Chain A
């Protein structure tokens, strides 16, 4: 069933809430509203920020009232039909990943903890096409899900002071990668070959929220464009 939209305003920010969980069908609705709104390009829209169950909008409220924005959003939502996600899907972006060794310092522990071999962890991680729920935390950090239940592990007890850019991590039902070097607590199992985030490009991130991501394992020693 199509969930109701909850639209609220805090300062110049408008929150369009679809749900309060990590749920892929709810998240897809968030991305559908985001795309439809950006396509329409209303004059009051400064910026839109999709997350798991919420789309946040930065609005120019000197141009229009909040109630007219609320009306426009609800009207747009109903125009998307009974299942807004039908026929809408992001692109699928493929990244090559060097798993294990110096690039994936936690792969060994993940294997031990899950009772699998390193090869099995890699195979399970690379066998799914993931949805990008959102980007956040740090520039270009991509949140992906869902991970095969067999390779779900908890975060590190003590986060690392610095995780190199391009590192691919696991945390519960989520996987993801770091766009820039930053502190981090995810279990690092590999490193992207391709650079996913580069401020010299516009947009800076290869992955848009709502896109899908596929990982292809490659041998360690592959040229790293990242460095």
Chain B
């Protein structure tokens, strides 16, 4: 799909000096299209995403920047207010140092740079008025594998201009909770469609082993590699069935794949557990290279 995203317009509030590792525009997600194989996309850590929007008094679910691994630098073109939440990182505005989570009033012309997180992995930068992007299938969320939505179906690159959406200001009825970032993280998990088939106690014992989030993990899914070799009964490949973000697949080699927001809509591996939204948010913040322990409830 042809996209106009990245072009400088009168609505541009910033241009990209350094895009960071993987920065995209995300709103709450794209719903209703799984039956056509389209995943929801949306924030990897919805808890921090909502907090960032609430800080700048945006309507719930307004599109914001999702910055994986930090290292984003923007030249600001308008006077505005930003809210930064999620992973803990240093934010430099002109020469002034700030720490996330925080609200900062910005004057046009300054440079905003977000460093590499000291704790956590996913940062949200909400801008008062929301971040504009391609509105595809009722969502501003970027889906890179599909090549559509949000920031032109791709991650931000140097020299992209980013526009304001100009959504109306709302007074938040209540400020949502912030996410407590832990590392290593203990994450609670509920039983999934095949937990009992494999034996709940066997699975519980397996999940308590520490896992490392592998470096090839991304918005499609986080792959978890067991720190100790323990064996689980092997199930035959199953006939594909619908799967959802938060579901934990077991691969024949013992790795787990936690399906995230850009993950496939169907899969054929046994699902040994499911993470709720808060657990998914916690896991997202662990990031590649981190360690997690899964407590089966």
Contact = CB atoms under 8 A, between A and B. Distances in A.
Given A46-B31, A53-B239, A199-B137, A140 B1 contact: no
A137 B38 CA distance: 9
Interface in A17-40: 20-22
Contact of B241 (A15, A140, A199): A15
B244 interface: yes
A8 interface: yes
B1 A200 contact: yes
Interface residues of B, number: 35
Given A136-B266, A204-B38, A11 B239 contact: no
A21 B264 CA distance: 20
A22 B36 contact: no
A180 B264 CA distance: 13
Contacts of B193: 8, 10, 15
A197 B36 contact: yes
B240 A51 contact: yes
- Size range of the interface on A? 35 or more
Interface stretch (B59-67, B92-100, B141-149): B141-149
B136 A199 contact: yes
Contacts of A7: none
Nearest to A56: B242
Interface majority SS (helix, strand, loop, mixed), chain A? loop
Contacts of A204: 33, 36, 38, 137
B266 A140 contact: no
Interface in A41-84: 46-54, 56, 58
B249 interface: no
Chain A CB within 10 A, most for which of B1, B193, B241: B241
Contacts of B126: none
B264 A138 contact: yes
Contacts of B36: 135, 139-140, 179, 197, 203-205
A50 B37 CA distance: 10
Interface string B30-47: 011111111000000000
Interface of B: 1, 31-38, 136-137, 143, 145-149, 190-193, 238-242, 244, 246-247, 264-266, 271, 274, 276
30 contacts: A8-B193, A10-B247, A10-B271, A10-B274, A11-B276, A15-B193, A22-B239, A46-B31, A47-B31, A49-B34, A49-B35, A49-B266, A50-B35, A51-B242, A52-B239, A52-B240, A54-B241, A58-B244, A135-B265, A136-B240, A136-B264, A136-B265, A137-B37, A138-B146, A139-B36, A139-B143, A140-B38, A180-B145, A200-B136, A203-B36
